[in-house]
Amino acid sequence: MTGKSCSLTSQEILDTYFLENRARLLEIASFLDRLDRAADAGEVRGEYRRRAFEKALALLLEPGGERTKAIQLLFSDPSSEPIESALGLKATGAWGGENAGN
């Protein structure tokens, strides 16, 4: 990150937002626990959304102040050409490539 743009101090950010984000982390842990406990847990290990989610979790630990951008790009469709038709498409929240559903 090239410049500082936050008017709050680090301590103010911690004091204001720590509990809210602690709860979010617990929610994520619960989501991952449910996936692991599911009867068919092994079947989704390599599923593109799970892979993207795990990559996003790793990006959270990267320093530099550009985590939001990196995670948004990770989940986004990188193609620049418009598709022929959006008929039948379903939003999944992560880019899985043209063959993600297969």
Q: What is the domain count for the chain? A: 2
Query: Does 63 reside within a domain?
Result: yes
Q: What is the pLDDT of residue 101?
A: 40
Q: Residue 29's closest CA among 61, 53, 51?
A: 53
State percent of the chain over pLDDT 70.
Answer: 91
**Rounded mean pLDDT of 56-84?**
90
Verify that 24 and 40 share a domain, yes or no.
Answer: yes
In degrees, rounded to 5, the angle at the alpha carbon of residue 93 between the alpha carbons of residues 74 and 85 is: 105
In a domain, residue 50? The reply is yes
Please give the residue that has the higher pLDDT: either 98 or 52: 52
- Is 32 among the domain residues? yes
Supply the pTM of this predicted model: 0.76
Q: Is residue 18 part of a domain?
A: yes
Identify the band that residue 59 occupies on the pLDDT scale cut at 50, 70 and 90. Answer: very high
Structural domain harbouring 70: 46-77
Assess whether 13 and 35 both reside in one domain: yes
Q: Provide the 3-class DSSP secondary structure of residue 2.
A: coil
Distance (Å, whole) CA 52 – CA 9: 32
Average predicted confidence (pLDDT) for the chain: 87
Whether 34 and 61 share a structural domain: no
pLDDT at 61: 94
Please tell me the total number of residues recorded for the chain in this structure. 102
